[in-house]
A = this chain, B = another copy of it.
Amino acid sequence: MSPIMYGLLVTLFGLTIVFLVLTGLWGILAMMKLFFGGKKAQETQATVKSMVNTTGSEVTAAAVQSDEMDADELLAVITAAISACMGGENNLYVRKITRVGDNTPVWGQISKQEQMLNRL
């Protein structure tokens, strides 16, 4: 078979397989929706904007009670604090929230050891 002929065969098979596989995935995604799609999607992001709209003291209390206060919430606290200081005019709009770094533990505390060591 000449290279061109074999190339055409590859093209024919190739496009067919690409479509077959991805159509198969489509079918599977459709089935998956039937089985698992009914459940309410959970919100993975902390709803930072709404938190910012509450008063500073509420946010602060909420955040410090949380055992796993993460950086997003920290920023929310900061923003809220700033906004509270400025007299409560909530004209802030947090455009980008950067989660900061890896939460390296304060190692005297057992809680992080629990998360890690026994898993290694």
Residues of A participating in the B interface, judged by any CB pair closer than 8 Å:
44-45, 56-57, 60, 64-72, 74-75, 77-79, 81-82, 84-86, 92-106, 108-109, 111
Which residues of the other chain, B, contact A100 by a CB distance below 8 angstroms?
71, 100-101, 103-104
Contact of A103 with B98 in the complex, beta carbons under 8 Å: yes
Supposing A78-B81, A81-B82 touch, asked if A99 and B106 sit within 8 A by C-beta, the answer is yes
CB < 8 Å: which of B65, B82, B95, B109 contacts A65? B95
Which residues of the other chain, B, contact A68 by a CB distance below 8 angstroms?
96
Residue in chain B with minimal CB distance to A78: B78
**Contacts A60-B86, A64-B95, A69-B96 given; 20 further ones with Cβ under 8 A?**
A56-B82, A56-B85, A56-B86, A57-B86, A60-B92, A64-B92, A67-B96, A69-B95, A69-B98, A72-B106, A74-B75, A84-B85, A84-B86, A96-B111, A98-B105, A99-B103, A100-B101, A100-B104, A101-B104, A102-B102
Q: Enumerate 19 A-B pairs (CB-CB under 8 Å) in ascending A order.
A: A44-B108, A45-B106, A56-B82, A65-B95, A66-B95, A67-B95, A67-B96, A69-B96, A69-B98, A70-B98, A74-B75, A78-B78, A84-B86, A96-B109, A96-B111, A98-B103, A100-B104, A101-B101, A101-B104
